[in-house]
Chain A
Amino acid sequence: MIRQERMRVVKHKEIAHNIFELTLIGQLVHDMKNPGQFVHIRVSESYEPLLRRPISIASIDRETLEFTMIYRAEGRGTTILSQAKPGQEVDVLGPLGNGFPLGQASDGEHVLLIGGGIGVPPLYELSKRLVDVGVKPIHILGFQSADVVFYENEFRELGETHIVTVDGSLGHQGFVTNVLDSIAEEVSTYFACGPTAMLGALQNALPDTKGFLSYEERMGCGLGACFACVCKTTEAVEADYVKVCSDGPVFPAGVVRL
Chain B
Amino acid sequence: MNRLAVELPGLSLKNPIMPASGCFGFGKEYAKLYDLSKLGAIMIKATTLETRLGNPTPRVAETAAGMLNAIGLQNPGLEKVIAEELIWLEQYEVPIIANVAGTLTEDYVEVAKHISKSKNVKAIELNISCPNVKCGGITFGTDAAIAAELTAAVKAVSEVPVYVKLSPNVTDIGEIARAVEASGADGITMINTLIGMRLDTRTGKPVIANGTGGLSGPAVKPVALRMVYEVAKQVSIPIIGMGGITTVDDVIDFMSAGASAVAVGTANFVDPFVCPNIIDQLPEKLDWLGYHHVTELTGRSHR
Contacts and interface: CB of A to CB of B under 8 A. Distances in A.
Contacts of B22: 226
Nearest to A48: B65
Contacts of B12: none
A228 B71 contact: yes
B272 interface: yes
B217 A218 contact: no
Interface string A203-229: 000000000000001111111111111
B67 A48 contact: no
B269 A51 contact: yes
Nearest to A47: B65
Contact of A225 (B25, B51, B58, B246): B25
A50 interface: yes
Contact of A226 (B32, B60, B66): B60
Nearest to B30: A225
A221 B272 contact: yes
Interface in A4-26: 4
B67 A220 contact: yes
A136 interface: no
B236 interface: no
B33 interface: yes
Contacts of B51: 240
A50 B33 contact: no
A123 interface: no
A93 interface: yes
A217 to B, nearest CB: 6
A223 B71 contact: no
Given A50-B217, A220-B60, A230-B54, A93 B272 contact: yes
B6 to A, nearest CB: 25
B23 A225 contact: yes
Contact of B246 (A47, A222, A223, A240): A47
B275 to A, nearest CB: 12
A221 B32 contact: no
A125 B39 CA distance: 39
Contacts of B246: 47
A4 B272 contact: yes
A98 to B, nearest CB: 14
29 contacts: A4-B273, A47-B217, A48-B65, A50-B65, A50-B66, A50-B67, A217-B57, A220-B67, A221-B269, A221-B272, A223-B29, A223-B30, A223-B272, A225-B23, A226-B23, A226-B60, A226-B69, A226-B71, A226-B269, A227-B71, A228-B58, A228-B59, A229-B57, A230-B53, A230-B54, A230-B57, A230-B59, A240-B51, A241-B74
